[in-house]
Amino acid sequence: MSTLRLLRYSLHGRNGSIRYKQIAHVNRTKVFASNGIVAMFSTPNKAVSFSPIMTWISKISTFCSKPLPTNRNLSLLFSARKSTVSSDIVIREATVSDYAAVVDLIDEDGVHDYLPALYKQQVSDPDNFPYVATLGGRVVAYAMGSALDMGETRLLRSARVHKSFRKLGILRAMFDFFYGCSSHNMPLHVYDTLSITNREDSISGGVLAAGYRPVMRREGLQMSYQTPKTSPTGTGEDSPINGLELRELSRSDLRRIFQDHNLCRVLFPQGRLYNWYVGYRLMEENIRHLMTPWSGAFASFQDRRASILSSSGDHPSQRDFPKSDIILSSGGTSPSSGISHQTDQANRLDSSVSMVTFYNCYPTSYGGFYSLDAYGTQGVSKSHFQAHLRKNLDNIKSRFPGQKVALAVTFDTAVSKECVTSCLFEQGISEMLPRQEKWQILYERLAKK
């Protein structure tokens, strides 16, 4: 999305105390002002001379609550709340070229941070709205908003502030700006969401005071896992693990799961997923975020009836499944375009699904990071999680051979912590990473219009 379009939607927008008013339109550049805020929007990739705009500074100063300095390189100029920074802070849309500066914001202990690996993809995603705050031309903060659930939900995420510029109100100003823009850029949005862990529990009071309420909680463990130097052999797509057929879900498989409302009420009783700190309602629009080159899902079933899951040509026939108590569905992560909303009755999923695990992975300075989020029906046996863990470990080995991997597992009430730790120990995984995130909580509120 271009800078011009993004900011145009904020014209005369209102979110909380933010209100914009156009006060100038000079050389392809529009100038807006709010209470203590001046925003200058120009068409991207166009050379814009700001000299004529400086003639409007006196008019801007009378409109705003405080006099404003005449910085010639502004995208957004504001006075950060409680800020002791004497220079001007500039907030602008982040671009791929900001990669090095944004990565430089990561703390020394942020060895598992996903920004070095995924920043460029996230910034290029049309559903994401990334911003940086600069001081004297230096990037000092980064934050990103995302549109989820077909635009019904906006999520604040990926906040990073350089350690020398924290507690100055910079992030608050960035979030206010995002709220002001997205109120018009996402006219159908109904909910605001954010996620915190036990490591950020100190801010939960402020989150509640802002009108957010907890809607989903998941327990977690973060373990260290050393993979062998060679990728696994003999455990291909059709090779059983302990007599279980292990296969990955496709996009169309997951679509059919979402369409089976009776199954979803049992498997996802909160009516949503909570994967890798992000909440997703069970909507087809969200599948592209769940099935990517670095993420996917597996599903296990009670009996051989699950073999009807063949994904309309996505994968080979599964009529030769071995007889076993549990069969994991077929699939692949190749994108499928033009997914139909119509349910194929011949391939319909039924209530035999007992567990689904989702994964996200990416390389880090530590070696690799791999999240595994497990969802099971009440009373599901330990053998299901054992099978899923084995399959995910094979996936880890193939992606990060010979590397140390941070394995982050989250689980719901259907899978006990004792079950998870026991299965991990059976695979020789017992070393816990420092600074454990014992739980994650998804907060939500009705969006303020």
Residue indicated by tokens 């271009």: 2
Nearest to 289 by CA among 183, 150, 398: 150
Residue 154 predicted with pLDDT over 90: yes
User: Is 3-187 assigned to CATH 1.10.3470?
Assistant: no
- Torsion angle defined by CA atoms of residues 427, 428, 432 and 437, in that order, rounded to the nearest 10 degrees: 0
Nearest to 64 by CA among 52, 50, 79, 53: 79
- Separation between Cα atoms, residue 257 and residue 356, nearest integer Å: 10
Beta bridge mates, 92 = 132
- Separation between Cα atoms, residue 123 and residue 127, nearest integer Å: 9
Strands (E), 228-379: 272-275, 278-281, 295-301, 327-328, 353-363, 368-376
Across 125-134, 141-150, 162-171, 227-236, least confident range: 227-236
Q: What is the DSSP string of 8-74?
A: HTTTT-EETTEE-EEEEEETTEEEEEETTEEEEEE-TT-----TGGGGGHHHHHHHSSS-----TT-
Residue 371, token pair as written in the block? 């999240």
pLDDT tens digits for range 318-351 = 233 233 344 444 344 333 333 333 344 434 455 5
* CA 413 distance to own-chain centroid: 23
Residue 76, token pair as written in the block? 């957004």
Secondary structure letter of residue 433 according to DSSP: P
* Domain boundaries 216-446, corresponding CATH code: 3.40.630
* pLDDT for residue 242: 54
CA R_g for the chain: 24
Mean pLDDT score of the chain: 74
* pLDDT for residue 440: 95
Of the chain, the percentage scoring pLDDT greater than 90 comes to 51
Q: What is the DSSP string of 349-398?
A: --TTEEEEEEEEEEE-SSSEEEEEEEEE-TT--HHHHHHHHHHHHHHHHH
CB atoms closer than 10 angstroms to residue 448: 12
- Separation between Cα atoms, residue 3 and residue 391, nearest integer Å: 44
Confidence of residue 111 (pLDDT cuts 50, 70, 90): confident
Confidence of residue 405 (pLDDT cuts 50, 70, 90): very high
Residue 162 predicted with pLDDT over 80: yes
- Separation between Cα atoms, residue 118 and residue 99, nearest integer Å: 10
* pLDDT for residue 260: 93
- Torsion angle defined by CA atoms of residues 338, 342, 347 and 352, in that order, rounded to the nearest 10 degrees: 110
- Separation between Cα atoms, residue 324 and residue 19, nearest integer Å: 63
Pair type for strands 327-328 and 138-148? unpaired
pTM: 0.73
Burial class (CB in 10 A: 0-12, 13-18, 19+), 430: exposed
The residues, any chain, with a CB within 8 Å of residue 161's CB and separated by 6 or more, are 105, 140, 141, 142, 170, 171
Q: Does 60 or 192 have the greater pLDDT score?
A: 192
Secondary structure letter of residue 245 according to DSSP: B
pLDDT tens digits for range 134-148 = 998 999 999 999 999
* CA 283 distance to own-chain centroid: 15
The segment(s) of the chain belonging to CATH 3.40.630 are 3-187, 216-446
The residues, any chain, with a CB within 8 Å of residue 400's CB and separated by 6 or more, are 227, 361, 363, 367, 368, 370
Burial class (CB in 10 A: 0-12, 13-18, 19+), 147: buried
